Structure 1
Amino acid sequence: MQPLTPQTFVRAFLAFLLGVVIGALGTVVHRGLPPWGLLAALALVLAATVMVRAWGGWAAYVGIAGGVFLAVQVLTQTGPGGDVLIPAGDNVNSPWLGGAWIGGSILVLVLGALAPRRWFDDTPRPPRPPRASESTDGAA
Structure 2
Amino acid sequence: MQPMTPQAFVRAFVAFLLGVVVGTIGTVVHRAVTPWGVVAAIGLVLATAVTMRAWAGWPAFVGVAGGVFLAVMVLTQTGPGGDVLVPSGDNVNDVWLGGVWLGGSMGALVLAALAPRRWFSDAPRSAPVPPSSVVPPDQP
In structure 2, the residue matched to 1:46 is 46
1:18-48 deviation per Cα after TM superposition (whole angstroms, max 9, x unaligned): 0000000000110001110000000000000
**AA of the residue aligned to 1:121:** S
1:50-103 deviation per Cα after TM superposition (whole angstroms, max 9, x unaligned): 000000100111000000000000001111111010001433544311111111
Q: Does the Cα contact within 8 Å between 1:89 and 1:98 map onto a contact in 2?
A: no
1:94-125 deviation per Cα after TM superposition (whole angstroms, max 9, x unaligned): 43111111111111100000000000000111
**AA of the residue aligned to 1:82:** G
Structure 2, unaligned runs of 5 or more: 135-140
Q: TM-score, normalised by structure 2?
A: 0.91
Does structure 1 residue 33 correspond to structure 2 residue 4? Answer: no
Taking only aligned residues, the RMSD between alpha carbons, in angstroms, comes to 1.5
Identity of aligned residues (%): 69
Q: Does the Cα contact within 8 Å between 1:19 and 1:66 map onto a contact in 2?
A: yes
Q: Which runs of 4+ in 1 moved over 2 A?
A: 89-95
Q: Does the Cα contact within 8 Å between 1:34 and 1:94 map onto a contact in 2?
A: no
In structure 2, the residue matched to 1:112 is 112
> Higher mean Cα deviation, 120-129 or 38-47?
120-129
Query: CA–CA distance in 2 between the matches of 1:8 and 1:27?
Result: 28
Query: CA–CA distance in 1 between the matches of 2:36 and 2:129?
Result: 46
In structure 2, the residue matched to 1:13 is 13
Query: CA–CA distance in 2 between the matches of 1:114 and 1:100?
Result: 20
In structure 2, the residue matched to 1:67 is 67
In structure 2, the residue matched to 1:23 is 23
In structure 1, the residue matched to 2:137 is none
Pick closer, same or farther for the CA change 1:93–1:132 going to 2, 3 Å.
same
Does structure 1 residue 3 correspond to structure 2 residue 11? Answer: no
Count, aligned residues? 134
Deviation at residue 133 of structure 1 after TM alignment: 8.2
**AA of the residue aligned to 1:62:** V
Pick closer, same or farther for the CA change 1:132–1:27 going to 2, 3 Å.
same
In structure 2, the residue matched to 1:138 is none
Q: TM-score, normalised by structure 1?
A: 0.91
Deviation at residue 127 of structure 1 after TM alignment: 1.7
